[in-house]
Amino acid sequence: MTARTLNLTVGALSLLGAILIYSAATGFPDRAALMPSLISGILGFSALSMIIKALRQPKGGESAFSNISWPKLALTSAAWFCLIILSKWINFFILSAVFLFSIALLLNGKPQDIKDTLRIAAFSIELPIALWLLFSLVLNVSFPIEGIFEF
């Protein structure tokens, strides 16, 4: 499968998903339909841009999967699986910080110096805190706090 064919297929399926999400959201009350409508709009826009990009690519070309690092893909999938399984017992904030840090190290490779490591660690800690602030204080939706590290 070429990259052009893959982009067309994923773009078309994403566009179909956006249409299905939007049509399902039309039956919701106004406030409840806001987020699914927003998500479907973003997904639809991304799908259309992917389709346009694919149509501009020349036919043929190299395989879509020729540049994939299969060990990195396997480790990333295993990390997602561990995140889902362990979230039952370990607090979301701690687990997501560890997950973000390990995925950043996996995908970026070994940091060049201590500043890179500290920057990755700071981002891994700040993002869950920012999400908690957004959902708890701005949107007034509480995160489930459970697991062995409750606070």
Q: Is 2 helix (H, G, I), strand (E, B) or coil?
A: strand
Dist. CA 29–CA 124, nearest whole Å: 36
Cα atoms in the 13 Å half-sphere on the side-chain side of 13: 6
Dist. CA 96–CA 125, nearest whole Å: 8
Give pLDDT tens digits for 90-114: 777 788 888 888 888 887 777 788 8
Dist. CA 108–CA 8, nearest whole Å: 28
The rounded Cα 73 to chain-centroid distance in angstroms is 14
Residue 143: its pLDDT value, please?
64
Cβ neighbours of 57 (radius 10 Å): 14
Helix-strand-coil split of the chain, %, nearest 5? 70, 0, 25
Residue 79: its pLDDT value, please?
85
Give pLDDT tens digits for 23-77: 998 888 877 788 888 899 999 999 999 999 989 888 877 777 777 788 888 888 8
